[in-house]
Amino acid sequence: MTDKPTILVTGGAGYIGSHAVLALVDGGWPVVVVDNLTTGFRWAVHEKAAFVEGDVGDVAFMEDVLRTHGVRGIMHFAGSIIVPESVENPLKYYRNNTANSRALIEAAVNAGVPHFIFSSTAATYGVPEESPVREDSPKQPINPYGMSKLMTEIMLGDVAAAHPLNFCALRYFNVAGADPQGRSGQSTAGATHLIKVAVEAALGKRSHVGVFGTDYPTPDGTGVRDYIHVSDLAAAHVLALEALMAEPARNLTMNCGYGRGFSVLEVLDAVDRVTNMKVERRIEGRRAGDPPALISDNSRIKATLPWVPAYADLPVIVEHALAWERKLSAIRGS
């Protein structure tokens, strides 16, 4: 038996959520997963985690889950994450990311859950006025995805001031890679993450990789991003949970990145080297809502948590993503 309390992971059948479940289970935490399986996969949920299929936006349902399982902390990953889609369908994002988060927060307050960790994003910054970008930099989202997440951060701040709940908002930069043990990875069909797309192309699952914009004010004209290994990100969530439990009056907002940026072309070059082949690149126009560069200042998280990234190496991230893509082919028989 463990003396650790039960943690709810919403979206635990999805990419980042499933890795957070792995980190929690590996650390001896009891876990319950709620996922509606619209984009997640039942097989991605660790066998030691309890699984409940359902809608995070249903207050009564979520309150019942929280009470039934004696949940004391929530990691909230459920939501929509595709920037161009958010521009085309903003109401979907304000429902899935903002309204559903509001419902979950209400259920947490009603059930007396004291700790809440929120999956936020660097998209809250929009086009940063400085680089690397700090947590106190202006929040000026340029797409509904970023705005939907920022609105939830604001809600959490207001609720934490009014109720016995503390929170941590972790602003992700570009998450990539897969569990080093091959237990989970990015499995969504038609994913838009660059490294996922590139390893799919390397294995013949796609004909090419689109390079969206070569006229940005960056060294090679392509977008620059701070790529973080998903397992390092998951580890940060567990450490953040422990920090919230240690100081119940403390709220945290922290960037999750390595503080180093790579351009689209640099990433594709790395994929070519790891796979020992040339992935076809096709130059296309800029995508709506994409800033030229997003690089984290990660000094706050390093000063606040005992977080030491284990996989802060682009070729390693690519290798793990490639290994998962091969395993996924075997799982699906393709």
Give the span between the Cα atoms of 34 and 77, in whole angstroms: 10
C-alpha torsion 132→133→137→141, nearest 10: 140
- Which of 15, 93, 125, 145 is catalytic? The answer is 145
Quick one: three-class SS letters along the chain?
CCCCCEEEEECCCCHHHHHHHHHHHHCCCCEEEEECCCCCCHHHCCCCCEEEECCCCCHHHHHHHHHHCCEEEEEECCCCCCHHHHHHCHHHHHHHHHHHHHHHHHHHHHHCCCEEEEEEEHHHHCCCCCCCECCCCCCCCCCHHHHHHHHHHHHHHHHHHHCCCEEEEEEECEEECCCCCCCCCCCCCCCCCHHHHHHHHHCCCCCCEEEECCCCCCCCCCCEECEEEHHHHHHHHHHHHHHHHHCCCCCEEEEECCCCCEEHHHHHHHHHHHHCCCCCEEEECCCCCCCCEECECCHHHHHHCCCCCCCCCHHHHHHHHHHHHHHHHHHHCC
| Other Cβ atoms closer than 10 A to 280 | 10
Contact in structure between 117 and 73 (CB atoms under 8 Å): yes
According to DSSP, the residues that pair with 170 across neighbouring strands are 119, 254
Distance from the Cα of residue 250 to its chain's centroid: 22
Q: Is 145 a catalytic residue?
A: yes
Closest Cα to residue 257, out of 171, 197, 147, 184? 171
Which residues are tagged catalytic? Answer: 145
